[in-house]
Amino acid sequence: MADFSRRGVLAGAGLAVGAGAAAGAGLMRLTETETETVRAAAPGGPIPFHGPHQAGIATPVQDRLHFAAFDLGTDAPAEAAELLRRWTAAAVRMTAGQEVGGGATGAELAPPDDTGEALELPASRLTLTVGFGPSFFEKLRLPAPDRLRELPRFPADKLDPARSGGDICVQACADDPQVAVHAVRNLARIAFGTASVRWSQLGFGKTSSTTPQAQTPRNLMGFKDGTRNIAGTDRAALDAHVWVGREGPEWLRGGSYLVARRIRMHIETWDRTSLKEQEDIFGRTKREGAPYGAAREHDPVRLDRLPADAHVRLAHPDSLGGATILRRGYSFTDGSDGLGRLDAGLFFLAYQRDPEKGFIPIQRALAARDPLNEYIQHVGSGIWACPGGVPAGSFWGEALFS
Ligand SMILES: C=CC1=C(C)c2cc3[nH]c(cc4nc(cc5[nH]c(cc1n2)c(C)c5CCC(=O)O)C(CCC(=O)O)=C4C)c(C)c3C=C
Ligand SMILES: [Fe+2]
């Protein structure tokens, strides 16, 4: 197996340079996204941090998530920029499988730069993706992008402010939970005195993928989830529905709007529901994931064959004037509540070019009519504008401050 551990990373970097030289010589003709996908296929390998888009959106979805929302303790843009500069430097190292700063050991009389729990672990395809919420722009008195507005309230929302919002979000995804947790923990440590964690969410068992050739994962309701999603290699669909174009400010071009929803499932009620009702709710079969009226999972969806209020019918672009999102959600289980019920569900993550042509119309339709609402409740929410890719030598959102 390739050695991508924090010790073997230099050898890995040499290999990457070799591959780059080969590509430059015309020996390999892969697009950037395809190159990322190929490299990411190596177990435990690194996903490049720099590029035209932030990693963690269209790149292959890893198995684990640590999502954190931070609040700034300052209203000075220069201090926020310095934090993002220091975060980027740490992120470049961690995503390459290296220790933060001077490492986990060193001078005896000062706390180490790196907390140490990821020593000897491979890069584990760690990606770190950052976004700025509406409150970030208010606090720093910076111009917010036009399309970044607080989400409307949807019927039956029961949002907990302690699990919602946040000036900055960090989505850490990795194949090893310890690597994802280490990354957020070290960013929080670096932020001390400038920003602090408002809330965070751990996730497992990705519920959507950006690699349609892979087996579709299942959510905690037991259904294949993410069958019809935008593929990470579908450049036309990504440009049309995910990446912000010339309509956005310069720092946001090639970036995306992220909506996160913590959706609790009433698991115990679901588990007492007949198979027929479960399948009618989605309009797909449970074992195969086939749409009603078809035999195989990836057969085309024929809307007229689905119940009028089936989840898949309501959420389908053809029912909503083309509204489309890239889903990247994870399951979560945070133990039980005081009544012995599982506190579990779907941490729903959706990326889009324009929330008014993505999450908002889809959720309006679902909130109004989806029979799934009897079994779920939206309890946390946030929206952030994720800047475009970070060029080498720059930092997250740098153009926003210049
Ligand atoms: C606002 C957007 C959506 C929310 C919120 C949402 C919640 C949610 N979804 C499932 C399970 C499934 N969803 C499926 C398809 C699907 N869902 C959305 C959007 C939201 N889902 C879209 C856009 C689609 C694709 C529709 C299409 O084009 O066919 C499916 C079917 C398999 C698939 O295609 O992914 C399942 C299963 C749960 C459990 C849930 C809240 C907890
Ligand atoms: Fe869905």
ipTM of the complex: 0.99
pLDDT of 206 higher than 50:
yes
Q: Do residues 114 and 100 lie in contact, with contact meaning Cβ atoms separated by under 8 Å?
A: yes
Residue type, 100: V
- Which ligand neighbours the alpha carbon of 314 most closely? 1
Give the model's pLDDT for residue 6: 56
Pocket test for ligand 1, best of 348, 351, 377, 383 (most atoms within 8 A of CB): 348
Pocket test for ligand 1, best of 281, 292, 311 (most atoms within 8 A of CB): 311
Q: Do residues 75 and 139 lie in contact, with contact meaning Cβ atoms separated by under 8 Å?
A: yes
User: What confidence tens digit (pLDDT) does each residue in 227-258 have?
Assistant: 999 999 999 999 999 999 999 999 999 999 99
User: What confidence tens digit (pLDDT) does each residue in 111-139 have?
Assistant: 999 999 999 999 999 999 999 999 999 99
Reported confidence tier of residue 360, pLDDT bands at 50, 70, 90? very high
- Does residue 241's CB lie within 6 angstroms of at least one atom of ligand 1? no
CA dihedral 232, 348, 204, 34 (to 10 degrees): 10
Tokens standing for 121? 């672990």
* Ligand 1 atom at minimal distance to the Cα of residue 223: 37
Query: Residue 371 Cα, ligand 2 centroid: separation in angstroms?
Result: 12
- Does residue 360's CB lie within 6 angstroms of at least one atom of ligand 1? no
User: What confidence tens digit (pLDDT) does each residue in 254-300 have?
Assistant: 999 999 999 999 999 999 999 999 999 999 999 999 999 999 999 99
Report which DSSP code applies to 122: B
CB count, 10 Å around CB of 261? 25
The radius of gyration computed from the CA coordinates of the chain, to the nearest angstrom, equals 21
Task: Report d(CA 273, CA 222) in Å as an integer.
Answer: 12
Q: Could you give phi then psi for residue 258, rounded to 5 degrees?
A: -110, 130
- Does residue 191's CB lie within 6 angstroms of at least one atom of ligand 1? no
Q: Is 153 exposed, middle or buried (0-12, 13-18, 19+ CB in 10 A)?
A: exposed
Nearest CA to ligand 1 atom 11: 225
**Among 155, 178, 197, 221, CA closest to 69:** 197
For residue 170, what is the enclosing H or E element?
strand 168-174
**Residue position matching structure tokens 């083309």:** 322
- Does residue 312's CB lie within 6 angstroms of at least one atom of ligand 1? yes
Answer with the residue of higher pLDDT: 224 or 25. Answer: 224
Query: Residue 223 Cα, ligand 2 centroid: separation in angstroms?
Result: 10
- Does residue 262's CB lie within 6 angstroms of at least one atom of ligand 1? no
Query: Residue 266 Cα, ligand 2 centroid: separation in angstroms?
Result: 16
Task: Report d(CA 55, CA 20) in Å as an integer.
Answer: 18
Q: How far is CA 140 from CA 84, 144, 162, 198, 247, in A?
A: 14, 10, 22, 18, 23
User: What confidence tens digit (pLDDT) does each residue in 149-204 have?
Assistant: 999 999 999 999 999 999 999 999 999 999 999 999 999 999 999 999 999 999 99
Paired sense of beta strands 195-206 and 342-352, if any? unpaired
Query: Residue 267 Cα, ligand 2 centroid: separation in angstroms?
Result: 16
Collapsing DSSP states into helix, strand and coil, what is residue 93? helix
Reported confidence tier of residue 402, pLDDT bands at 50, 70, 90? confident
Give the model's pLDDT for residue 212: 75
Mean pLDDT over residues 210-227, rounded? 89
Q: Is 142 exposed, middle or buried (0-12, 13-18, 19+ CB in 10 A)?
A: middle
* Ligand 1 atom at minimal distance to the Cα of residue 284: 31
Angle at 142 between CA 390 and CA 75, to 5 degrees: 100
Task: Report d(CA 100, CA 143) in Å as an integer.
Answer: 32
CB count, 10 Å around CB of 351? 29
Query: Residue 180 Cα, ligand 2 centroid: separation in angstroms?
Result: 25
Q: How far is CA 326 from CA 16, 116, 242, 388, in A?
A: 29, 34, 7, 16
Sign of CA dihedral 71, 76, 82, 85: positive
The residue count for the chain? 402
**Among 254, 242, 216, 195, CA closest to 354:** 242
Query: Residue 314 Cα, ligand 2 centroid: separation in angstroms?
Result: 9
Sign of CA dihedral 314, 316, 322, 323: positive
- Does residue 331's CB lie within 6 angstroms of at least one atom of ligand 1? no
Task: Report d(CA 169, CA 270) in Å as an integer.
Answer: 31
Q: Do residues 194 and 80 lie in contact, with contact meaning Cβ atoms separated by under 8 Å?
A: yes
Reported confidence tier of residue 44, pLDDT bands at 50, 70, 90? confident
Give the model's pLDDT for residue 134: 98
**Among 396, 385, 328, CA closest to 59:** 328
